[in-house]
Amino acid sequence: MIKLAPSILSADFAKLGEDVVRIDKAGCDWIHIDVMDGMFVPNISFGMPVIKAIRGLTNKFFDVHLMIEEPIRYLQQFKEAGADMVTVHVEACEDVEKTIDEIHKLGIKAGLACNPETPVDDIVPYINKVDMILIMTVHPGFGGQSYIDECTEKVEIVNAIVNEYRLDTLIQVDGGVNTENVCIPLDAGANVIVAGSAVYKGDVEKNIEVFKNKFISFE
């Protein structure tokens, strides 16, 4: 089953709680939470207190994407705040395997992300060790960017490995995905779609419905 994970980075921060409840009721599968530290990426966003505050509003799966330097320092705190999965960047970890192991020791799922300019070979050794691979299809740190077509090949490569070894590893794409181009990553093998402005701009309920209808032919 293909999952839709709206990014609350595109929500109205003045009514974040309402926007979380809205996507929950509209039928999203996961909630994607972008955490940025101003160091790994040039922007700053949510931290543990915000995640903890919205955790009580929904039972949806919290997909926490850490765009921070040395994320191993904060794994326990994000788990306690309510994360169901923590995704870290291969570029941000001094010891990738140790970081993955520490996430799993906390009893939550682990994801590994790579930026558009990062060779897919950098994440291949970890595909069988994580629950999800995240292929960034924009440069991380800001919403509203256009999908980078060259990243689609990475999805295809990861999908081929997952299929060859019959792994359960999910493949997520994040960045510039909308209802017009979502079939591109889906056709390449992605099965978790992050969408921000494409969900929150206009009619949220209708946007989620359109995404879900697009998913049907790939399931």
Number of domains comprising the chain: 1
Element counts in the chain: helices (H) and strands (E): 8, 8
* 10 assigned to a ligand binding site: no
Q: Annotated binding residue at 27? A: no
Q: What is the pLDDT of residue 143?
A: 65
Catalytic residues: 34, 174
Judge whether 111 is annotated as a binding position. Answer: no
Q: What are phi and psi of 52, to 5 degrees?
A: -60, -40
pLDDT in tens, 195-208: 999 999 999 999 99
Q: Any known ligand binding at 211?
A: no
Q: Percentage of the chain surpassing pLDDT 90?
A: 96
Helix (H, G, I), strand (E, B) or coil at 6: strand
Band (pLDDT 50/70/90 cuts) for residue 141 is confident
Cβ atoms of 3 and 216 closer than 8 Å = no
Which CATH number covers residue 63? 3.20.20.70
Are the beta carbons of 195 and 6 closer than 8 angstroms? yes
Judge contact between 123 and 114, C-beta under 8 A.
yes
Quickly tell me which residue has 């889906």 as its tokens: 186
**For the segment 35-84, what is each residue's pLDDT rounded down to a tens digit?**
999 999 999 999 999 999 999 999 999 999 999 999 999 999 999 999 99
Predicted pLDDT at 175: 96
pTM of the model: 0.97
**What is the residue range of 190's domain?**
3-218
pLDDT at residue 145 in the model = 83
In sequence order, what are the residues at sequence separation of 6 or more whose Cβ sits closer than 8 angstroms to the Cβ of residue 201?
A: 10, 207
Q: Which residue has the tokens 């019959």?
A: 166
Q: Is the pLDDT of residue 161 over 80?
A: yes
Q: What are phi and psi of 124, to 5 degrees?
A: -55, -40
